[in-house]
Structures are given as structure tokens and as C-alpha cells.
Amino acid sequence: MSRILIAEDEPRIASFIEKGLRAQGFATEIATDGVTAYGRARSGEYDLVVLDIGLPEMDGFAVLKLLRADGAKVPVIVLTARDSTQDVVAGLEGGADDYMPKPFRFEELLARIRLRLGGERSTDATVLRSGGLSLDLRTRRANVGDTVVDLSAREFALAETFLRHPGQVLSREQLLSRVWGYDFDPGSNVVDVYVRYLRGKIGTGRLETVRGMGYRLVEKD
């Protein structure tokens, strides 16, 4: 079991990441300031660090610089609300292995974590299929049978979530969390709106409404 250090001072985001990773079988710990994050990350006990740039006491750039100066080779994925080119370059040149701007979807973070952990990614499919519906995760291309379907980024993310859980009922809260990330309004009807959009493109019979529970992808040729 891989151990991941989550260096994030915002409780809501840290909890969002931790719950998702634990559900995927990872062991996790949270550090809420840069000094603690540096001390734990340099211990050699972790297989990967998810590092927020805006940490108190010592920011993520400083933590990363010290880790690499110490010779620590632990993979580091930087999370930050700063998405300027200068910050991206600074993070990568400072020794980060990957970079994700906030807000983000958990599935995107998970894919990057598995990529950095090497062998654990081998079970991930590049193309997801159910009946005549397929999604190519590399080209971001969707097909219904032999027909290419034009999906927006959010529609694609919603379809991907359903295809990763075929036949499973997904609640609105689960879909909000997985597709819209931690930054969502639980009272929003955005899921219903986008399910309607998606049905219009992939076929109404593929997404079944389970009254009082949510939605389910059903296989349809």
C-alpha cells in the first residue's frame, strides 16, 4: 500500500483529497503547514507528496527546494491556486514532478498520482467502453457506435465518471464531488442539467434515473 503525504492547510480540500485516496486504497497523512510537511516528507516514509504552494510558516516552493537540496527523490505533485506561467515554471524547475491548478477534479489528481507511482497505473484503461459508448481518455474523443460525439469538458468528465462505475447508482452528491471537485454547491441542480445535456448527445436510454437516489449508466448497444 502506497503512503501519500497531503500537505494542505485548507481543511475542506485536505479532507476531499484524503477521503478520495483512502477509498482507492492509499494510506494518507495530512500536514497543515510547511515546516511539518518538510519534516515528514524528508523522512522517507512516503511514496508521494501532494504539496500545496500556499502553506503557512513555509510555503510549498521552499519545502520543495529544501527537499531536493536534501537529495529527497520522493515524487511531488504541486497544487496551487496560482496558475501563471511563471509559477508553473518555478514549480517544475524547483523539482516538482507535476503541477495542478485549483480547482481540480479528483479523477485528474488520481490519474497523475498513479502515473508518478509507476506500476499502480497499469490497470487504468485508456479507452472506457459500455455497449456502443466509448471514451478515449488520451484524445478526449467520445463515440456512440461509429459516430463521433462532441462533448464539452464537463460533459466528458461526467460521462467518464459514469463509465468508470457502470451499473452503479451514483448520487448527485457523488457526481458533484467527482466532476465539479471540492468547490461545489450541494444545493445546486447542475448535475440534473448536465445529465440532460449528456442524454441529448449519447442517447436518453443510457442514463437511468433512480428515483430518490441518483443516476445509473446502463449498457445499451
Indicate which CATH number applies to the domain containing 52. Answer: 3.40.50.2300
Cα 207 to chain center, whole Å?
23
Per-residue pLDDT band for 83 (boundaries 50, 70, 90) equals: low
Percent share of the chain, pLDDT over 90: 53
Measured between alpha carbons, how far is 208 from 214 in angstroms, rounded to an integer?
9
Measured between alpha carbons, how far is 24 from 180 in angstroms, rounded to an integer?
19
Comparing 20-29, 101-110, 160-169, which segment has the lowest mean pLDDT? 101-110
Q: Are 52 and 33 in contact (CB under 8 A)?
A: no
Kindly state the average pLDDT of the residues 75-85: 79
The answer to whether the predicted template modeling score (pTM) of the entire model surpasses 0.85 is no
Residue 49 DSSP label: E
**Highest-scoring range by mean pLDDT, 38-52, 109-123, 180-194:** 38-52
Q: Single out the residue in 95, 121, 147 at which a domain terminates.
A: 121
Q: Are 46 and 74 in contact (CB under 8 A)?
A: yes
Measured between alpha carbons, how far is 219 from 214 in angstroms, rounded to an integer?
17
Tell me, what's the pLDDT at 71? 92
Q: Are 68 and 51 in contact (CB under 8 A)?
A: no
Indicate if the pLDDT at residue 178 is higher than 90.
no
Indicate if the pLDDT at residue 120 is higher than 50.
no
**Single-letter residue type at 48:** L
Domain count, the chain: 2
| Domain that includes residue 76, residue range | 3-121
Domain containing residue 208: CATH number: 1.10.10.10
87 shares its domain with 154 = no
- Ramachandran angles phi, psi of 45, nearest 5°: -90, -5
